Amino acid sequence: MKDVPYWRLSGFYFFYFAFVGAMSPFWGLYLKSLEFSAFQIGILMSLLQVMRIFAPNIWGHMADRSGKRVAIVQLAALGSLLFYLGVFFGTSFWWMFVVMAGMSFFWSASLPLVEAMTLSHLGERMARYGYIRMWGSIGFIAVVVGLGYWFDYRPVSDLLWAVLGFIIGIALFARVMPEAVIAPHEHDHAPIMDIVRRPEVWTLLAACFLMSAAHGPYYTFYSIYLVDHGYAKSAVGWLWAIGVIAEIGVFLWLPRLHQVNFERLLLLTFAVATLRFLMIAWGVASPAMVVAAQVLHAFTFGAYHVAAVTLIHRYFRGRHQARGQGLYNSLAFGAGGTLGGLYSGWAWEGLGAQWTFSLAAGCAILALFVRLRRFPPVNA
């Protein structure tokens, strides 16, 4: 893509989601190896989301005011690296709480700013976002498959060194990332809350909040759930990979369509997520059902994420772009992810695994109803 710093942006996504590929499937297993309870694991894993409630808005506001988005991404990468080093110096619950909270505060700053810069570099070619974003999915696959096999033969504590390497990669690519020109917009000086109050915007943010809450049990306990039902860690890695391979298919397919109705696509993803989490809840004994549920990740993350970030980019223009993406990350992945992590820890011990994933399905169908109630209709 001419005039787009394809490989520098793609490299950042690769290492950023390689980090996610190590943390989401395996960090819970590492915490379990430290003999933390399910509730403690839920709290610690939710910190990755808790900080996304506050941090993206803080960093996004600084970026929009200063216009120096790259410098803030670089600062965030360095801060997350320094805090992460603490995992090598203690394993108590409260020590891990402080380390993960600090790391997450800085780590969560990067993605919304990079998303805004990527879409700014693409300009009117936003449908090609998937060509860049898919490298994050490739990084995720490489890590979940590789570490899945690795942990069949090696202790899960090796995860600490792998994650360190990925954070260093994030920091290195942040150093070479180019700044994007921020196109001026007529509403640059209007309060951002004027945009948020629009029915099509607040219902989108509310629905994304519920969609992230629906994924809480998946990102916190899915690997533990599979291992408890007799699946090998290498199989767990491949199951995560299948979902992301399907996700890459969506990233490659969407730009080939002449016209994409992102609004209708978003509604479809909520319906598919409801089905997927019910399949996970009640079909874990069937490998075929488990694989089929993972293929649906193409919709519940791949198509969902492209639709959501594109709609957010359309609603928040000009100098509101970074704060718009930050607000989306804060309310969806931050607040929604936090709720998902906390209720999953409570439900796992109180209701059991099947009903925990059934609650996830309930959050997804509620997201569909919330978005359907928007007014006026959006032609996207």
Contact 132, 6 (CB under 8 A): yes
- Tokens representing residue 177 in the block: 């990332």
Tell whether the model's pLDDT for residue 377 goes beyond 50. no
More confident of the two residues 209 and 188: 209
Crossing angle between the packed helical segments 38-66 and 69-84, to the nearest 10 degrees: 150
The distance from CA 213 to its chain's CA centroid, rounded to whole angstroms, is 12
Q: Is the peptide bond before 376 cis (omega within 30 degrees of 0)?
A: yes
The average confidence (pLDDT) of the chain is 86
Contact 337, 216 (CB under 8 A): yes
C-alpha dihedral (112, 160, 300, 229), degrees to nearest 10: -160
- The percent of the chain in helix, strand and coil, each rounded to the nearest 5, is 85, 0, 15
Name the pLDDT band for 251 (thresholds 50, 70, 90): confident
- Nearest alpha-carbon partner for 207 in 350, 48, 332: 332
Q: What is the mean pLDDT of residues 334-343?
A: 84
Counting Cβ atoms within 10 Å, is residue 210 exposed (0-12), middle (13-18) or buried (19+)? buried
Per-residue confidence (pLDDT) for residue 369, from 0 to 100? 94
Alpha-carbon gap, residue 329 to 321, rounded angstroms: 12
**What pLDDT digit, counting tens, does each position of 195-224 carry?**
888 888 999 999 999 999 999 899 888 988
Per-residue confidence (pLDDT) for residue 375, from 0 to 100? 45
More confident of the two residues 27 and 6: 27
Per-residue confidence (pLDDT) for residue 204, from 0 to 100? 94
Q: What are phi and psi of 188, to 5 degrees?
A: -55, -35
Tell whether the model's pLDDT for residue 304 goes beyond 80. yes
Mean pLDDT is highest, among 11-15, 31-35, 188-192, 313-317, for: 11-15
* Tokens 């033969």 found at: 153
Per-residue confidence (pLDDT) for residue 354, from 0 to 100? 94
pTM confidence score:
0.75
Tell whether the model's pLDDT for residue 115 goes beyond 90. no
Alpha-carbon gap, residue 278 to 284, rounded angstroms: 10
**What pLDDT digit, counting tens, does each position of 262-286 carry?**
888 999 999 999 999 999 999 999 9
Alpha-carbon gap, residue 363 to 187, rounded angstroms: 34
Name the pLDDT band for 127 (thresholds 50, 70, 90): low
Pick among 1.20.1250.20, 3.50.50.60, 3.20.10.10, 3.30.1330.40: CATH of 7-372 = 1.20.1250.20
Alpha-carbon gap, residue 265 to 213, rounded angstroms: 19
Tell whether the model's pLDDT for residue 295 goes beyond 90. yes
Label residues 19-35 b or e (16+ Cβ within 10 Å = b). Answer: bbbbbbbbbbbbbbeee
Per-residue confidence (pLDDT) for residue 287, from 0 to 100? 94
Tell whether the model's pLDDT for residue 380 goes beyond 50. no
Share above pLDDT 70 across residues of the chain, in percent, rounded to a whole number: 91
**Sequence-distant (≥ 6) Cβ neighbours of residue 200 within 8 angstroms:** 315, 374, 376, 378
Name the pLDDT band for 316 (thresholds 50, 70, 90): confident
Type and span of the H or E element at 95:
helix 93-122
Contact 92, 75 (CB under 8 A): no
**What pLDDT digit, counting tens, does each position of 45-86 carry?**
878 777 878 777 787 777 777 777 888 899 999 999 999 999
Type and span of the H or E element at 42:
helix 38-66
Name the pLDDT band for 181 (thresholds 50, 70, 90): low
Tell whether the model's pLDDT for residue 104 goes beyond 80. yes
